[in-house]
Structure 1
Amino acid sequence: MIAMLSVSTYASQLTTLANIQRNQSDFDRLSRQVATGVKSDDLSDFSAVDAQRLLNGDKEVQRLEAYNKGIDIVTPRLKLYSQQVERMDTLAKTVASALSGVDSYSGATQVQLGTLIDNTLRDLNALLNDRVDGRYLWAGGNYASQPVGDLTALPDLAAPAAFTPVADPALPDYYAAAPGSDANAWVEAGFSPEAGKSVEYGQVASAPAIQELINALRLVKSGLNAAAAAGSTAAAETAFAGFRTEALSQLTEARSGIKQMSSEIAMDLASITDSAKANKAAINLFVDEQGKIVNVDTAEAGVKLSQVKTQLEATYKITASLSQTSLVNYI
C-alpha cells in the first residue's frame, strides 16, 4: 500500500512539474510580448517563410537608410551652393548697377569703382574657397586643395576683348594651380540617392559663368587702370568707355549663366528631396510588413498572461498539497 502510494504521488508530481515548466515558459513569453509588443526577438520562433521575410526586410531597410544618409550629407551642401550662387548674382548685379551709373571717368570713379571691384573679388575668393567638413566645395575632384588664388592679384587685361571660356581640362588663370590643365578640377561630385538614380550635384570654380564674372570684374579694373595711365582726359575717357561697355555685356551674360546654375541646383535639391521621401515611404512599407509578422496585440497577450498566471498559481497549490501527502492522510 505504501509503495503504491509513493508511485502514485511521484507520477502526479512529475505531471505537475511538467505543467509548471510549460506554464512558466508561457508566462515568460507572454510577459515579454506585453512589455515589447512583439512576438519574439528570436528568428527561430517564426516559420521559415516568415523568418526569411524578416531578414529580407531588414536588408532592404538598411539599403534605403544608407541612401537617405547620403542625402542627409548632400542636402546641406546643395543648400550652401544655392546661397553662394545667389550671393554671386548679387555681387554681379551690384557691380553692373554701379558701372551703369558711371557715364565718364574721373578720379572719384577710380577710387569708388576700384574699391568696389577689389571688395567684390575678395568676396568671390571667399565663396569659391569655402569649405564644409574639410572639403573645398568648388574644387571639383581636388576637394582637399584650395582651388582659387588671389583674384585681386590677377594682371590687367590688355584690351576689352570678347570673352571665351576655357574648357575641361584647362585651368582658368585664376586657379591656384594655373597655368596648366587638370581634369579633376572639372569633376562634379555625384551620388546615388535611390536605386537606379544618380545626381551630379557638385559645382566647380571653373564653371563658364564664374569665369565670365571674374573676367568682367577684371575688365572694369583694367579699364580704370588704363584710364589712369592715359596721357589725356580724352584718352582716359576712350580707354575706360571701351572696357566699361564690354564689362557690362559680360556681367549680363555671367548673371544669366549664374541664374542657370541656381536653377540646376534647385532641381537637384528637389530631386534628392523626392528620393528621400520615396525611400522613407518604402522603409515604412517594409516596417509595416515586418510588423504584421512580429507585432502582437498586447491587450490579448495581457489576457492570456493573466490566465497563465492563474494556472501557475493553481499548479503551485497542487504541488504544495502533494508535497504534504503522507500515509497518515489515508488512514
Structure 2
Amino acid sequence: MATDALNAAEPLSTNDVDFPNTTTVLANNFMLEVEANLNIKLGDRFIFAGTNFSDAPVRDLRTLSLYNATDLGSAPAAANAIETADTLPEHVVDAGGAATTESYHTGFTAAGTVDSKAYEAMKVTIADSQPIVYNITANEPAFQNLIEGLLRLKSAAQTGLTEPEREEFLGEARNTLDNARVELRQLQARNGTVINELSRTKEIHTSFINISQSALTDLTVANDAEVATRIAALRTQLEASYSTIADTNRLSLVNYL
C-alpha cells in the first residue's frame, strides 16, 4: 500500500484537470484500507488496539482535517513529531491559524492524551520459560507515517493551492510515505521473527507428541483374565510366606525340649 501511495504522490502533472478528484479518491481509498486493516478483530479482540481489546483503535481517516498552506515546511510549520511511549499519535492542522490538534486514534481526547494500554504489547508463553511478545499496535511509527503521508497526499488535491504549494505537499507526502515503507518492512521482519519462533516451537511440541504417541502405541495391553490369575497366585504365595513367618515367630526353646 505504501508503494502504491508513493506512486500516487508522483503524478504526471498536477495541472491535469482530473488531478484533484482522482487524487482525493485514491487517498480516501488508501485511508479506508488502512482503517480496515488496523481495526481487524480476532475473535472478540481488536488486535492492533494494545490491551484495549474491545475498542477499535482507528477512526474514519477520511474525516481528518486537511492541511493548509500554513502547514507546509516552507511556511515554516514545525514537522509533526512521532509519538512514542504512552502518548497517542497526534498532529497539528492549520499551524498558522487555529493550530488544531487532531489524531487518527479513537482514544484521543486532547493534545498529549496518554493511554498506556494502547501501547501495551501482549506476551504469551509458548514453552517452559519461553515467552514471546507478539502484538503490534496502531501507534507504531510506521502507521503514524503512513497516515501522515496519506493526509499530505490528500491535502495536495484541495482547491485554492498554488502550483508550488501543491508540489510541496506531494514532496512531503512522498518523503513520509517512503519512511513508512521502510518502517513497515521492519515491522514485517519483526513479526516474521516471532512467527519463526512460533513455528520452531510448534515443531518441537509436535515431535514430542509424536514420540509420546509412538510410545503409547508400543505398550502391550494386558489380558484381564491372565492378570487376575497371576495376582491370585502371587497372593497365595504371599499368604504362605506370612504363615511361615508367623510360625517362626511362635517358636521358643520350649519347643525343642
2:6 to 85, 88, 96: 96
Secondary structure of 2:149 counterpart: helix
Within the alignment, does 1:229 sit opposite 2:160 as a pair? yes
Structure-1 separation of matches of 2:72 and 2:139:
21
How far residue 101 of structure 1 moved from its aligned partner, in angstroms, is 3.0
1:245 aligns with 2:175: no
Contact 1:114 1:221 (C-alpha < 8 Å) held by counterparts: yes
- Which of 115, 121, 145 lines up with 2:25 in the alignment? 115
Asked whether the equivalents of residues 160 and 219 of structure 1 are also in contact (C-alpha less than 8 Å), the reply is no
The aligned amino acid for 1:109 is: F
Q: 2:202 aligns with which of 276, 284, 305?
A: 276
- Determine whether 1:177 maps to 2:94: no
Alignment of 1:179-194 (within 5 A): 179=110, 180-194=113-127
Unaligned runs of 5+ in 1: 1-90, 231-235, 309-331
* Aligned position for 2:49: 139
Alignment partners' CA distance in 2, 1:155 and 1:211: 16
Please give the TM-score of this superposition, normalised by the length of structure 1. Answer: 0.57
**1:21-75 residue CA offsets vs partner (Å, 9 max, x unmatched):** xxxxxxxxxxxxxxxxxxxxxxxxxxxxxxxxxxxxxxxxxxxxxxxxxxxxxxx
Larger Rg: 1
Q: Looking at secondary structure, tell me which structure has more helix per residue.
A: 1
SS of equivalent to 2:156: helix
Amino acid at match of 2:146: L
* 1:102 to 1:160, Cα distance in 2 relative to 1, 3 A: farther
- What do the CA deviations read for 1:115-160 (whole angstroms, capped 9, x no partner)? 0001110111111111110111110110111111110011122423
SS at match of 2:107: coil
Answer yes or no: is the 8 Å Cα contact 1:130–1:137 preserved in 2.
yes
In structure 2, the gaps of 5 or more residues are 74-78, 90-102, 230-257
1:275-311 Cα offsets, whole Å, 9 max, x none, are: 111122233445556666xx1178xx6xx97xx9xxx
Q: Deviations over 1:210-234 (max 9, x none)?
A: 0000000011112222xx113xxxx
Find 1:152's aligned residue among 62, 66, 89: 62
Secondary structure of 1:224 counterpart: coil
Are 1:164 and 2:97 counterparts? no
SS at match of 2:86: coil
More relative contact order, 1 or 2 (CA 8 Å, 6+ apart) = 1
Count of aligned pairs: 204
Secondary structure of the structure 2 residue equivalent to 1:107:
coil
2:236 aligns to what?
Answer: none
Measure how far apart 1:168 and its partner are. Answer: 1.9
TM-score, normalised to structure 2's length? 0.72
CA contact (8 A) 1:147 1:205 kept: yes
The answer (yes or no) to whether the contact 2:21–2:157 under 8 Å persists in 1 is: no
- Contact 1:110/1:224 (<8 A) preserved: yes
Q: Distance in 1 between matches of 2:166 and 2:55?
A: 37
Asked if the contact 2:9/2:171 (under 8 Å) is kept, the reply is: no
Aligned sequence identity (%): 21
How far apart, CA to CA, are the structure 2 residues paired with 1:104 and 1:156? 18
